[in-house]
Amino acid sequence: MDEQLSIRSFPRAIVHFDGDAFFASVEQMLNYKLKGKPVVTGKERNIAASMSYEAKRMGVTRGMTVQEIKKVCPQAIILPSDYETYSIFARRMYEIVRMFTPDVEEYSIDECFADITGLKTHYKMSYEEIALMIKKELELRLGVTFGVGLAPNKVLAKVGSKWQKPAGFTVIPAKDAHIFLKELPIGKIWGIGSSTSVFLHKLGIRSALDFALKPLSWLEYHKLSKPYKEIWYEMRGEYVKKLVTETNDEVGSIIKSRTFTPATSNRQFVFSQLSKNIENACIKARRHGVLIRAISFYLKTQDFRYKGMDIELPVATCSPVEIVNVVSKYFNQVYSAGEKYRASGITLRSLIDQGSMSLDLFGESHRAQNSGKIFETIDTLNHKYGKHTVFLGSSFTAMVEKQHQGDRGDVPIRKNHLFLGESARKRLDIPFLGKAH
Ligand SMILES: [Mg+2]
């Protein structure tokens, strides 16, 4: 019964995470002296970009000039933006959420979506409990609070994360969507801009529910384009707007990449990270029933330079073993000893339907397809017993090594240990390592 109710309420379980007053909160996190004080960032542009809740309570709003801020809140601490540090926190946020589910959309510097559909059996928890668990982990590890919404789709999850502030958690099952939409002006819905909002007002739409209750023919009559129809479907509880968890180009490709911290020159480690990316990308390829004819792989250096290679595969395949073998042949042309790397990535290209495979000489494709079958079995095992129950030997270091000179994003990290990049670490040293002032 509970299961049935849950399927009806969450045919998909989408969570939206939104950092509260993110930039200002990061500043407060990095300097305890700022805690509890009205902090505003954006000094370099003379405009408030982000305000702590203390500043908001004093009447500071986004876009105010420094002069205006000083008028309403003379004690405001106005700081220049430090985007590098904020983006390190953003990366951490994505990586923490990815410890719980691979399906994460990096929506913006302080927001992401996660698809946790089907993870209830894995975690033996309800969707609410899973979402709350991720929220707690984010808040514990980043020291920033998050507004979190759990819903059957992105539009409603966004409504949820904004519902209570700060540190809110709002669950919107499909069957209750109307309760929330009734109270929400249409212009507050994600994707409804001010001109559309004015247009809809003229047609008598006030609340989001007014819009959701219109029939589809009404939308068509008023020539509302596809993005608005998608919003309309989602307000009615359907899942239409897919998560963008990787980039898909027009011919169709699958991309998996992973940043590791700190940067490393350990060849085995870098290769195993790449191998793991390949495994994950192939899982996706098999899920979509496609074979891969070409790949690109790259390594990204500590100072953000990319080096990579494009390779045509001898036979179309969906087997990570075949691809890891090919990559291992060329790896040394990309990797140079002594260079420090911060990320690796793989793109599977020239994808074709498994069904459309034509016969080739020497039965090569037959062999590749057979090893594809082995991986289908592995997929079943992994699905049954948890992701990465079975994995390639070449991914071993990435899968098993618990610590790599401290911490990495893709293994559970020690509690209360912040894992940050160089510049942020410099800033962190003062307030966090317990030095006397
Ligand atoms: Mg935010």
Mark whether 26 and 161 lie in a shared domain. Answer: no
Residue 137's alpha-carbon distances to 126, 140, 144, 161, 399, in angstroms, are 17, 5, 10, 16, 21
CA 23 to centroid of ligand 1, rounded, Å: 9
CA 321 to centroid of ligand 1, rounded, Å: 42
Mark whether 230 and 330 lie in a shared domain. Answer: no
Q: Worst-scoring range by mean pLDDT, 245-254, 298-307, 373-382?
A: 245-254
Q: Worst-scoring range by mean pLDDT, 201-205, 273-277, 381-385?
A: 381-385
Mark whether 66 and 11 lie in a shared domain. Answer: no
* pLDDT value for 433: 28
CA 36 to centroid of ligand 1, rounded, Å: 18
* pLDDT value for 253: 78
CA 179 to centroid of ligand 1, rounded, Å: 24
The DSSP bridge partners found for residue 344 are 258, 299
Is 249 within the bounds of a domain?
no
DSSP state of 65: B
Is 217 within the bounds of a domain?
yes
Mark whether 285 and 317 lie in a shared domain. Answer: yes
How many angstroms separate the first and last alpha carbons of the chain? 59
293: pLDDT strictly greater than 60? yes
Instruction: Determine the Cα–Cα distance for residues 139 and 170; give it in Å rounded to an integer.
Output: 16
* pLDDT value for 311: 87
Q: Which CATH number does the domain housing residue 138 bear? A: 3.30.70.270
Q: Is 181 helix (H, G, I), strand (E, B) or coil?
A: helix
CA 21 to centroid of ligand 1, rounded, Å: 6
Instruction: Determine the Cα–Cα distance for residues 82 and 423; give it in Å rounded to an integer.
Output: 10
Residues 24, 39 contacting (CB under 8 angstroms): yes
Integer Rg of the chain from CA: 24
pLDDT band at 385 (very low <50, low <70, confident <90, very high): low
| Alpha-helix runs per DSSP H in 164-207 | 177-182, 194-202
Number of domains the chain is built from: 4
Single-letter amino acid code for the residue at 224: L
Mark whether 387 and 354 lie in a shared domain. Answer: yes
pLDDT band at 161 (very low <50, low <70, confident <90, very high): very high
Q: What tens digit of pLDDT does each residue of 412-432 get?
A: 333 333 333 444 445 543 233
Last-in-domain residue among 159, 176, 193: 176
Q: Which CATH number does the domain housing residue 354 bear? A: 3.30.1490.100
- 27, 54, 111, 234: the catalytic one is 111
Is 120 within the bounds of a domain?
yes
Q: Are strands 111-115 and 104-108 parallel, antiparallel or unpaired?
A: antiparallel
* pLDDT value for 406: 34
Is 51 within the bounds of a domain?
yes
Mark whether 182 and 56 lie in a shared domain. Answer: no
Q: Worst-scoring range by mean pLDDT, 83-87, 99-103, 159-163?
A: 83-87
Q: Which CATH number does the domain housing residue 191 bear? A: 1.10.150
Mark whether 374 and 261 lie in a shared domain. Answer: yes
Identify the helix (H) or strand (E) that includes residue 310: strand 306-317
Query: What domain range includes position 337?
Result: 254-400
Identify the helix (H) or strand (E) that includes residue 375: helix 364-385
363: pLDDT strictly greater than 90? no
| Alpha-helix runs per DSSP H in 222-347 | 226-235, 267-287, 320-334
Q: What is the mean pLDDT of the chain?
A: 83
Burial class (CB in 10 A: 0-12, 13-18, 19+), 232: buried
Mark whether 386 and 296 lie in a shared domain. Answer: yes
Is 61 within the bounds of a domain?
yes
40: pLDDT strictly greater than 50? yes
* pLDDT value for 399: 61
CA 381 to centroid of ligand 1, rounded, Å: 38
Residues 73, 59 contacting (CB under 8 angstroms): yes
Residues 243, 113 contacting (CB under 8 angstroms): yes
Mark whether 28 and 117 lie in a shared domain. Answer: no
Is 35 within the bounds of a domain?
yes
CA 18 to centroid of ligand 1, rounded, Å: 5
Active site residue 139: no
Q: If you average pLDDT over residues 149-165, what whole number do you get? A: 97
CA 115 to centroid of ligand 1, rounded, Å: 19
Q: If you average pLDDT over residues 242-260, what whole number do you get? A: 71
pLDDT band at 277 (very low <50, low <70, confident <90, very high): very high
Residues 164, 156 contacting (CB under 8 angstroms): no
CA 361 to centroid of ligand 1, rounded, Å: 56
* pLDDT value for 419: 36
- Top mean pLDDT of 95-109, 133-147, 365-379 is at 133-147
* pLDDT value for 405: 36
CA 38 to centroid of ligand 1, rounded, Å: 17
Mark whether 126 and 137 lie in a shared domain. Answer: yes
Burial class (CB in 10 A: 0-12, 13-18, 19+), 381: exposed
* pLDDT value for 127: 97
Is 427 within the bounds of a domain?
no
* Phi (first) and psi of residue 389, to 5 degrees: -60, -45
Q: If you average pLDDT over residues 176-194, what whole number do you get? A: 95
* pLDDT value for 346: 92
What sign does the dihedral 382-384-387-393 (CA atoms) show? negative
Of 316 and 238, the structure prediction assigns the larger pLDDT to 238
Mark whether 117 and 207 lie in a shared domain. Answer: no
6: pLDDT strictly greater than 70? no
Q: What tens digit of pLDDT does each residue of 206-239 get?
A: 999 999 999 999 999 999 999 999 999 999 999 9
Is 426 within the bounds of a domain?
no
Q: Are strands 254-264 and 306-317 parallel, antiparallel or unpaired?
A: unpaired
Mark whether 126 and 150 lie in a shared domain. Answer: yes
